[in-house]
């Protein structure tokens, strides 16, 4: 059964971290000279060594263009644009977590799945226009991504462009039964993109012609992915444990699809400008429960690595009461990053209830895409009495045999109104 958050602070704390110029120091040696052996491993600096500035509280959504702008949901729902600590956008019409910015950071584009439309919204003026329509809503959700130059859109839906779309080109990405589209990601120069399916990845050029790709580990969804600095390889964050949200970061060469595991036990991975990579992963190894409930890790490591996976910065964080897992997002310019965590006070009924999926972004168990989860799930052994929040009648949907042994899917309150469990 799902419980909605109680007294939840839907805000996150942010620090604006200035990296400056991250360059490798070159040492010149006389011919035949050898470097002196290192007495001990070099000390990796922490993020506290970098200049940092607190930012407005809210849920970080994405970077917006190449000018260090970013998108933030300050009320837990609607999205606004910020430049530093200054809000620059008119009131936003969307709470969709799938939203894409133009390269100049002047507007956002997002699908309205219930209405079957793709909308463009100018951040500072508030003007909007419909760029395309499609048949919706779809149970699988729409897979869609615009090239950074905003000249091409790739989608698994047939898009009908409007006059407002101008010279925009469309590429139809095939989706078949059992091979739905999980993610579409373009290269920074708009020359190619990749499509992640349930167990394969296809790399295509800007005309939609396949130029590489191959198999990935079965049942390991691509939660995040990006091209390396030379655009010859893909970094893929593969999550096979949907309960814990833990997975592996791999690097796959496009030409021959040779994949190498870079790091295991990763909880968040994000690529930024100039090949920089932000990684978050648990340190402790608690015993996992025998059922499908999740456990809370106590300590996390946040790392910044370069395109060759060299460690640049690292800092450990202890999970405090009311504070969620840290997240690290590197800007497209590689000059700054956002380090964030959620401040909340989630409802915890105690044993035998075990915490499941929490409030925030997650891989949707029905559509396979990242989606905002506006609640807190708990798991209990079969047969556990569930106290009702209000007097009423529980409803169980047994149209599918597999659902008859699940918790109630809805309820009728004492006042006659209907809710969903």
pLDDT at residue 11, as a whole number: 43
pLDDT at residue 31, as a whole number: 36
State both tokens at 142. 């729409």
DSSP string, 328-372: EEE-TTSSEEEEEEEE-------TT-EE-S-SEEEE-TTT-SEEE
pLDDT at residue 370, as a whole number: 56
Cα–Cα distance, 98 to 108 (Å, whole number): 10
pLDDT at residue 180, as a whole number: 78
Blockwise average pLDDT, block size 10, the chain, 421 residues: 27 55 35 49 84 84 88 80 88 80 89 88 91 73 87 93 94 76 91 92 94 85 91 91 79 95 93 90 79 75 93 89 80 88 63 63 56 64 67 53 47 48 46
Cα–Cα distance, 130 to 163 (Å, whole number): 9
pLDDT at residue 399, as a whole number: 44
DSSP character at residue 258: -
């Amino acid at each position: 059964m799902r419980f909605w958050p109680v007294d939840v602070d839907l805000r996150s704390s942010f620090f604006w971290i200035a990296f400056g110029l991250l360059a490798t120091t070159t040492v010149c040696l006389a011919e035949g000279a050898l470097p002196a052996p290192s007495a001990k491993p070099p000390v990796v600096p922490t993020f506290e060594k970098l200049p940092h500035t607190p930012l407005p509280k809210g849920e970080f959504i994405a970077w917006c263009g190449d000018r260090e702008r970013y998108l933030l949901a300050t009320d837990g729902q609607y999205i606004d644009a910020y430049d530093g600590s200054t809000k620059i956008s008119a009131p936003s019409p969307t709470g969709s977590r799938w939203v894409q910015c133009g390269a100049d950071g002047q507007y956002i584009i997002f699908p309205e799945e219930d209405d079957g439309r793709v909308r463009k919204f100018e951040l500072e003026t508030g003007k909007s226009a419909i760029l395309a329509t499609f048949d919706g809503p779809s149970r699988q959700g729409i897979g869609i991504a615009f090239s950074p130059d905003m000249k091409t859109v790739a989608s698994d839906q047939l898009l009908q462009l409007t006059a407002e779309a101008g010279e925009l080109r469309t590429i139809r990405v095939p989706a078949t039964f059992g091979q739905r589209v999980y993610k579409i990601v373009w290269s920074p120069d708009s020359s190619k993109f990749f499509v992640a399916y349930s167990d394969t990845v296809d790399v295509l050029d800007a005309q939609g012609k396949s130029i590489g790709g191959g198999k990935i580990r079965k049942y390991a969804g691509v939660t995040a992915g990006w091209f390396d600095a030379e655009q010859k390889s893909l970094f893929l964050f593969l999550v096979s444990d949907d309960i814990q949200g833990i997975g592996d970061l791999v690097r796959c060469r496009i030409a021959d699809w040779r994949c190498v595991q870079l790091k295991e036990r990763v909880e968040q991975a994000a690529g930024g400008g100039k090949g920089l990579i932000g990684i978050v992963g648990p340190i402790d190894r608690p015993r996992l429960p025998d059922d499908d409930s999740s456990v809370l890790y106590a300590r996390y490591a946040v790392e910044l690595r370069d395109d060759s996976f060299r460690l640049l910065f690292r800092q450990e964080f202890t999970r405090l009461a009311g504070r969620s897992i840290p997240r690290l997002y590197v800007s497209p310019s590689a000059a700054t990053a956002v380090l964030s965590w959620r401040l909340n006070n989630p409802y915890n009924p105690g044993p035998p209830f075990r915490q499941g999926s929490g409030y925030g972004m997650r891989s949707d168990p029905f559509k396979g895409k990242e989606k905002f989860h506006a609640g807190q799930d708990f798991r209990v052994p079969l047969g556990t009495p569930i106290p009702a929040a209000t007097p009423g009648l529980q409803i169980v949907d047994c149209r599918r045999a597999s659902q008859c042994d699940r918790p109630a899917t809805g309820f009728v309150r004492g006042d006659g109104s209907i809710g969903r469990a």
